Amino acid sequence: MDLEAASASIQVDTALSSDIAKSCNKLLETQKQIMTAEEQLAKLKESEALLSELTIPNLMQQAGIAMLKLADGSSVEVKPFYAARIPSSKIEEAFSWLRSNGFGDLIKNNVTLTFGRSEDQDAKNLVDELKKKGHNVTQTEKVEPMTLKAFVKEQIQMGRNVPADIFGVYVANKTKITTKE
């Protein structure tokens, strides 16, 4: 096929290319709207945290009240809030602290063993052998997030020191509004 014959057989549907361009522009506009909405949501969450964790708890503390019941039956209460997360750079230090302070049982220990492609039979034999001995084969160490949060809350409430930097401890008061429905 020569060049003239090839160019004579190529056809471009200009209506479709126009539709593609319009759709691409609509996609870009939608992406801008999403970005704007996410920025607005971040600002709203920041405002919520400020009201819930600082403004209302401070006002209630100044008024000397822990709970406020409103005429419509709803109530406002400030309660302590606890959060903890072990940063990946502090995992070894956190696990060492837990073990040396008698809390090693919070750490889940899983063992995993990976075999190459031609080692299927070796893997099967080892798994069979370990299963006969009553073992499951995989290993990772971790502390479940909710377990860590509960542990930190308990230790703080008991007046014990928990290293905030290695456990990513965050403690704040949080406002809880219960509405009567």
Q: How far apart are CA 57 and CA 77, in angstroms?
A: 9
Dmax (CA) for the chain in angstroms is 92
> Could you tell me which residues come within 8 angstroms of residue 172 by beta carbon, excluding any fewer than 6 positions away?
53, 80, 81
Instruction: List, for residues 51-104, the tens digit of each pLDDT value.
Output: 999 999 999 999 999 899 988 889 999 999 999 999 999 999 999 999 999 999
- Residue 171 near residue 156, CB atoms below 8 Å: yes
Instruction: List, for residues 154-177, the tens digit of each pLDDT value.
Output: 999 999 988 989 999 998 889 999
Instruction: List, for residues 20-40, the tens digit of each pLDDT value.
Output: 999 999 999 999 999 999 999
Task: Show the tokens assigned to 150.
Answer: 């509960």
Q: Is the dihedral of CA 103, 147, 131, 127 positive or negative?
A: negative
Q: Is the dihedral of CA 151, 154, 156, 159 positive or negative?
A: negative
- Taking the domains of the chain in order of start, what are their residue ranges? 14-65, 67-101+143-181, 108-141
Q: Would the pLDDT of 136 be above 70?
A: no
Q: Is the dihedral of CA 74, 55, 172, 160 positive or negative?
A: negative
Closest CA to 95 of 82, 106, 84, 83: 106
Instruction: State residue 101's pLDDT score.
Output: 95
Instruction: Please tell me whether residue 42 adopts helix, strand or coil conformation.
Output: helix
